[in-house]
Structure 1
Amino acid sequence: MSTKKQNTEKEQVTDKVSQDHQITDHNITKSPDHKITDHSITKSPDPKGSKATSKKKAASTAKPADAPAHPITDHQITKSPDHKITDQRTSIVIPYLASKAKGDELRYAVRAWAKHFPEGNIVIIGDKPPWAGKDLVHIPHKPQDKNPQIDVAHKMVAAIASKKVSDVFVWTNDDIYTLCPVDFADIITLKSHGKLLKRGVANGIYADNCKNTVTALKKQGVKDPFDYATHTPVVMEKSSLAKVIERYGCDKEGHLVYSLYANTVFPNHRPIITKNDGSGSICASVYRANPDPKILKRVIASRKWLNNNDAGWKAVEPALKVLFADKCKFEK
C-alpha cells in the first residue's frame, strides 16, 4: 500500500469515527460506577440543549490553561445515554490468512464462539473460508506488510472503517478456541503475562516489535508497561483504537498493538496475571506436538480458552473434532 493510500485510509477512518461519535475532546471520562458494559465513547453535548446543561458539562471537563494535552493516556470510560454495548450485536473479529493455516483451526474457532458466545456476530477480515455461510460477515483484505504486527494494524483499520463491525468489538485469532460459556465480562477483563520485557528470538521481527512497543510507551510516560499479548480474546473500542494506531504509527512500524492499546487506554489498571501453562486458570497454550495427554485433558476441562501455535495444532485437533463436531449457523 502506498504512503498516499495509507494516509487517505487513515484520514477516512478518523473522519468516520469522529462523525459517528461527535468527538469534541480526545479524552474519555469515566462514570462513578465504571461498569464494564459502559465501554463506549462520550458524545459531545447536544447543541440544542439548555445552557445550564452545557455549562455543567463544560465545567466537568474543563482543564487548567497550562495542563498538557494528553488525549489518550488518561482515557477512562463512560456511558453515553444512547450508546450501550447492547445496542448492537458484539462483533467477534478474526483476521485470517488461509496460506498460514495448518488445518481447520478457523472452523473450530468459529464453532466454539457460536456454541459458547451465541450473541456474537462473526466477522472474518482477510481470506474467506470456502465453508462460510451467509451469516458470516467477510471483509476482504490482502496482506499489507511482511511484518505480521504491521499487517494486523492494517486489518484493525479495516475493522474500524467497516459499518459491519460493532463500535465495541472482540478481537481474537483463528487458533483461539472458547471452551465453555463466557460472557462479555470474561472477555473485557484485562489479562497480562506480567511486565512487558524482551520477548521473541533475538533480532527477530517479534523481538523488534516488542522493543518498539516498550520504547513508544515509555516516551508517553508509561514507565513500567504490562505485556497484554496473552493469546486470548480482547475487547477494543473503535475510536480509541484509531487514535492509538495513529499516535504510534502502527501501520508503518511494528508494535504489539493490543499491548499499546491497553497500556495507553488503561495506564493505571492492574490486570489479572495469567499463565498459559499447566498452572494457569484462564487459558492453556499448546506449543508442541506431544504435550502430556493428562495435562491436555485437564486444561481442556477447566480453562475458558485453548490456543495453539503451528507445532501444537496436531495435538489439539483431535480434541477439537470431538468438542465442536457439529456445524454452526456461520457455515454453509
Structure 2
Amino acid sequence: MELPDIVVAVREGSHNEQLRYALRSWTAHLPHRHVWIVGYRPWWAAGARHIPTHQRGLPAYANTTTAMRAACEHPDVSDPFLWANDDFFVMAPQPTPFPVLHRGPVGEVFAQYGTRSSAYVAAMRKTHAFLVGLGHEDPTSFELHVPSVSSVGP
C-alpha cells in the first residue's frame, strides 16, 4: 500500500513557527510519502513539494478553498491524501492507513452547541440543510482539528 501525501495550505509570510513544529511532528509520527505546501512555501521548508497559489486580498476561507482545489487538480498529489492545517501537531505514532475521524451525525453536534448563536453555527446549519437537500439524510460532522483523509475520486 502506498503512503498518502500530506497537503497543507500555508498563508504568506516566512515567520510560521507552527508550520515548523507541525512538519517535525508529521515526520516523527505520521507515515506519509510527500508533504505538499499549497500557497506560500517559506524558504526554510524547501524540502516540501510546492503548489503556488495566488493569495493576495483573498479571505482565509477562499485561500483554503483555492488550496484544496489546487491539490485535487495536481497530478502528482496522491489520491487519497491527508489534508492538514499548519497547526496540526501529531504527538504519537499513527496507524497506516490513517483513520477517517469524525464527530458523528451533525444533528448530535448541534445538540452540543445548544442554543448558541454565532456565524459559525449558522453556517453549519446552512451546510447541514444543503446536504439534507441533496439527499444526505444524516450527514456526518468532520469538524475536528486533526488531519483528514481527502480524495479526488468519488
TM-score range, shorter chain: 0.7 to 0.9
- Contact preservation (8 Å) 1:97, 1:126: yes
Runs (5+) with no aligned partner, structure 1: 1-85, 241-332
Distance, in Å, in 1 between the alignment partners of 2:146 and 2:102 is: 8
Contact 1:193 1:230 in 2 (8 A): no
Aligned residue in 1 for 2:86: 174
Corresponding residue of 1:93: 7
Which residue number corresponds to residue 77 of structure 2? 165
Tell me which amino acid in the other structure corresponds to 1:155: A
Structure 2: which amino acid aligns with 1:189? V
Counterpart of 2:124, as a letter, is C
Is contact 1:149–1:209 with CA below 8 Å preserved after alignment?
no
**Match among 13, 24, 33 for residue 120 of structure 1:** 33
- Superposition CA RMSD, Å: 2.6
What TM-score results when the alignment is normalised by the length of structure 2?
0.80
Amino acid at match of 2:36: V
SS for the counterpart of 1:229 is coil
Alignment CA distance shift 1:196-1:218 (3 Å): farther
Question: Which residues of 2 match residues 71-82 of structure 1 at below 5 A?
Answer: none
Contact preservation (8 Å) 1:125, 1:140: yes
SS at match of 1:124: strand
Of 223, 226, 232, the residue aligned with 2:146 is 232
Q: 1:141 and 2:53 equivalent?
A: yes
Contact between 2:4 and 2:32, CA under 8 Å: does it hold in 1? Answer: yes
Say which one has the larger Rg.
1
Do structure 1's residue 188 and structure 2's residue 99 form an aligned pair? yes
CA offsets 1:37-66 (integer angstroms, 9 cap, x no match): xxxxxxxxxxxxxxxxxxxxxxxxxxxxxx
Q: Give CA-to-partner distance per residue, 1:267-319, whole Å, 9 cap, x none.
A: xxxxxxxxxxxxxxxxxxxxxxxxxxxxxxxxxxxxxxxxxxxxxxxxxxxxx
Deviation of the 1:102 alpha carbon: 7.8
Deviation, structure 1 residue 223:
2.9
On the 8 A contact 1:193/1:229 being kept in 2, the answer is: no
- TM-score, length-normalised on structure 1? 0.40
Encode CA deviations 1:86-144: one digit per residue, 9 max, x unaligned.
24x41100111135x9840001100111111244311111111120133x101111237
**What is the CA distance between 1:180 and its match in structure 2?**
1.1
In structure 2, what is the equivalent of residue 151 of structure 1?
A: 63
Task: Measure the CA separation in 2 of the matches of 1:113 and 1:190.
Answer: 17
Output the CA distance in 2 between the equivalents of 1:220 and 1:157. 21
For residues 110 and 62 of structure 2, what CA distance do their matches in structure 1 show? Answer: 20
Kept after mapping to 2: 8 A contact 1:167/1:237: yes
Q: Is the contact made by 2:41 and 2:50 (CA closer than 8 Å) also made in structure 1? A: yes
Structure 2, unmatched stretches of 5+, are none
Whether the 8 Å CA contact 1:112–1:177 is kept in 2: the answer is yes
Letter of the 2:30 counterpart: F
Contact kept? 1:124, 1:139, Cα under 8 Å: yes
Gap change, CA 1:216 and 1:149, over 3 Å in 2: farther
Conservation of the 8 A alpha-carbon contact between 2:8 and 2:37: yes
Q: Is the 8 A contact 1:169 1:236 kept in 2?
A: yes
Work out which structure has the larger RCO, using CA pairs closer than 8 Å and 6 or more positions apart in sequence: 2
**How does 1:185-224 map onto structure 2 within 5 Å?**
185=97, 187-192=98-103, 195-197=108-110, 202=118, 204=119, 206-224=120-138
Counterpart residue identity of residue 97, structure 1:
R
Corresponding residue SS for 2:68: helix
Q: What percent of counterpart residues are identical? A: 27
Checking the alignment, whether the CA contact within 8 Å between 1:196 and 1:225 is kept in structure 2 is no
Cα 1:92/1:145, change in 2 over 3 Å:
same
